[in-house]
Structure 1
């Protein structure tokens, strides 16, 4: 028994050393993490594990018509790591060798051959269960015990004569069961380190992708250009250890930093076939050799690449690429990082397009508002001026000046912010014309706090004043009062526009803002949207039939020199 245990311990030591060495190999890490999962790889590793099983048989210790060996360790591991196909294939190779080829141990040749195949199958179908476990080695140890118990049972069931089989089992059961199961557990312990390293690398890559995305958002929101591509490429190149980073549009290289920048120059045509494939298919492309990368330049050293398409509305508009100069150097964390960056960059580019469209719409509406001098307003204003030319020429001259202010405001270039003084001058000109038309109808009270040197978006106040005049006071029987108050409250400036006109029912208030273009134009809706977009402030409207309307909003106070 002691000599038998020493033999198992020697083989166990070899397995531990082998596990330590192979767990450091890059090709084996990729196999364990599933990065190389093609059928030829499965066949290759099935044969590899099967031959290891054969080796363990050859290194076994002949005893009482059997062979005390560690064959189940590589066979069981092949299934646990590679799945049912790999486990079954290795089990068949090692099992048939034990059953038909190995010279010796005839008593248990058939039973051990069958049990070896069963071990591979059990290992393969245990993979999913163990992959979900945080400690694979712990569960692997008990599965190893189960497999050895099944092997002993098959020896007793199939070997003949039974008395010799029973005597053999009594000798080998404890050392073979415990030490082989321990070997499975120890090998899986080293494998667990590969999984842990991969998970830690994935976590680091996830953090890195968010860091890169945060630094690049201000550039990509402006669109995909040489300037934005260069800035983003510099961020990625600085924060990662890739040998080269590149961004392209659909035709040319926008930026390329690192190895190969002597011929992969900004503005030059796309060199690599993988880039063209990504643009054409909209799918991630990767290459692990210089030939697969597809650069025809004779001095190019770019031997591994991941190419991720950048999309807007599901249509590729460019690519993000990371390169390494060593072949087979792209691993799963690299793919996850670049894939995540591609998704984040595509989202940023889409948001940039949306913001640009929104900005263009807001500018168009602002231009429309400024140009919205309706024919009937101009006709009525000119009529009022003409009627005063004989009775009150001075007043007619003043109204012409006021009309010129209104017209000039409609034709001036659109600016993002104007002074409060300019906005109030426009409102004053508009109200003076309206009061001239309805001298006994419109009474205006305007209160503006002194020393307010505020800048604000143009036409943020005038449409509200016009709405109060047109839809509140003009429809009222008898005179009406319009009050405009602007005052500072802490760090806010409060604007209040109120009238005692006809008012509105509660339900139509929202409709007036959002849908009633015929009556209110785009003025109220534009004001509402710009307040939300620029200041994150709401437009408050309180109205009741025959009582009037009260409109309030506030914006942060910034003096002109602070803007």
Structure 2
């Protein structure tokens, strides 16, 4: 038994070395994060090869329980058996790929074992398939957030899988064989599963830490690029921004273009990707034309006409303002294998942030041409404290939940972009206003989980036009004033109903209500108060009256059971659309 233990330990070493090499292959790392049929098929192929290797490198056990060592067991007599690590591989396949992948890998491994044994011991097909299914099913119960089961759980799954195999062997091959192999095989396969999954979990943990560091760097990067992108997209601003981006990332080259020319290129390939010249690569031209992101994993996919170009992989993303592509952000590696999902996610986040910064610059330029009254109105709509609170929330989440921090950043970008788009438009689609509210509430709910419940009752065409901020201001008013010191049970109801040629918009909450002495003044004038001045409601009320007449003024009702604010907006023919 000890000799068998040592021999199986050597075979286990082979599998674990392969596991270590596999985790360091970017192709495999991408597969384990995707839940597609194509990824599952690739995982089946990989682990099927592993099971066959396990069968071929097994230890032959003769009828009289003697051990036979051979480099590869391509075949063996029907009377002999094999001790191997096949069950380990099938268990790992189930844990990583789920019951479907585990079952198919188990079937292939069992079938190969039958062929290897000169078409004997057909029970291995059933037992191996069952092991894969059970491992994949139970792994879901033990899996942790963004990782696979812990070491102890993986070891337990390994023991269970090998126990299933031993039951079949005992029934069909006899207890004598089980007595010889049960201790070394259960022990080593259990340890092997635990070590294999620990290697994967270690990689995932390192990746999460890397994402946290990147998120922190992204905030600093965004802070440094903001002054340049606020100047608009030109050669000077793009050159400065590219230098900053390259400083904060691991990319070998960074470039920015407008729709026609290269504005800046820093790093590898700068000798022929020159500022002021036309865009060279086919990849960039496609992104600018289509407005969709593209990834190149090989030099040929980049399409640079310069044969000596050192760029081997690339991420090219559109820079969009007001749903129009105005240029492209390009990031390159000189080695194709360095491009991973981490870099892809980072680049996509940066493109969204830079697009928002460019939109901010354009909005500021437009604001310079507007009247002082319009500028004050914009300042009243965008609450700076909200943005500071959101950024602080993202900073806190980076230490506990990187994915949630990234999601919050995207919501902040959406909210910021919607706020800026509302500056120059007098009317926007209802669905856009609803997205604005969703992004605002998502950020608030990230700060205060389970504190707010938003209920929609919308019975109107999503494309019907409404004034910008008409819902967001009312919802924010409820969030800021309706529920002091109440952590749960805070409900905000949003109702939009179309009746003939009018939209009836109602935002109601179940908060503490508004003091009677303030109720008649709210929306009519600013109020000196420790909790706010009501400026946003005043501006919204004035905009509604200016656009549609007195019939659309804010109607406010309030009691100790909550507050309801209502307005009626014509579906068409507003009185004053001169600002559009």
TM-score, normalising length: structure 1: 0.60
Alpha-carbon distance in 1 for matches of 2:195, 2:523: 75
Alignment partner of 1:261 is 2:270: yes
Q: 2:109 aligns with which of 94, 97, 102?
A: 94
Q: Is the 8 A contact 2:230 2:360 kept in 1?
A: yes
Q: Is the 8 A contact 2:31 2:42 kept in 1?
A: no
Structure 2 gaps of 5+ residues are 64-79, 376-519, 527-534, 547-580
Alpha-carbon distance in 2 for matches of 1:509, 1:118: 72
Structure 1 residue 125: Cα displacement: 3.9
Q: Is the 8 A contact 2:262 2:276 kept in 1?
A: yes
Cα displacement string for residues 62-92 of structure 1 (whole angstroms, at most 9, x for unaligned residues): 2555322211112222232344454333222
Superposed CA RMSD: 3.1
Alignment partner of 1:68 is 2:80: no
Name the CA shift for 1:83/1:316 in 2 (closer, same or farther; >3 Å).
farther
Name the CA shift for 1:228/1:171 in 2 (closer, same or farther; >3 Å).
same
For the residue of structure 1 that corresponds to 2:251, the secondary structure is coil
Q: 1:78 aligns with which of 93, 104, 125?
A: 93
Alpha-carbon distance in 2 for matches of 1:179, 1:127: 19
Alpha-carbon distance in 1 for matches of 2:91, 2:3: 25
Name the CA shift for 1:506/1:103 in 2 (closer, same or farther; >3 Å).
closer
Structure 1 residue 506: Cα displacement: 6.2
Counterpart position of 1:397: none
Alpha-carbon distance in 2 for matches of 1:365, 1:208: 35
For the residue of structure 2 that corresponds to 1:261, the secondary structure is coil
Structure 1 residue 345: Cα displacement: 0.8
Counterpart position of 1:140: 154
Alpha-carbon distance in 1 for matches of 2:317, 2:267: 18
Alpha-carbon distance in 2 for matches of 1:279, 1:5: 61
Counterpart position of 1:149: 163
Q: Is the 8 A contact 1:79 1:126 kept in 2?
A: no
For the residue of structure 2 that corresponds to 1:510, the secondary structure is coil
Structure 1 residue 126: Cα displacement: 4.9
Alpha-carbon distance in 2 for matches of 1:46, 1:168: 30
| Range 347-356 or range 336-345, more displaced | 347-356
Alignment partner of 1:57 is 2:71: no
Name the CA shift for 1:140/1:506 in 2 (closer, same or farther; >3 Å).
closer
Q: Is the 8 A contact 2:51 2:86 kept in 1?
A: yes
Counterpart position of 2:317: 308
Equivalent pairs counted in the alignment come to: 370
For the residue of structure 2 that corresponds to 1:199, the secondary structure is helix
Name the CA shift for 1:315/1:33 in 2 (closer, same or farther; >3 Å).
same
Counterpart position of 1:341: 350
Higher helix share: 1
Q: Is the 8 A contact 1:233 1:255 kept in 2?
A: yes
Q: Is the 8 A contact 2:255 2:265 kept in 1?
A: yes
Counterpart position of 1:7: 7
Q: 1:317 aligns with which of 320, 323, 326?
A: 326
- After TM superposition, list the pairs within 5 Å mapping 1:462-541 onto structure 2: 510=525
Counterpart position of 1:116: 128
Alpha-carbon distance in 1 for matches of 2:62, 2:186: 16
For the residue of structure 2 that corresponds to 1:300, the secondary structure is coil
TM-score, normalising length: structure 2: 0.58
Alignment partner of 1:242 is 2:237: no
For the residue of structure 1 that corresponds to 2:370, the secondary structure is helix
Structure 1 residue 170: Cα displacement: 3.2
Structure 1 residue 223: Cα displacement: 1.6
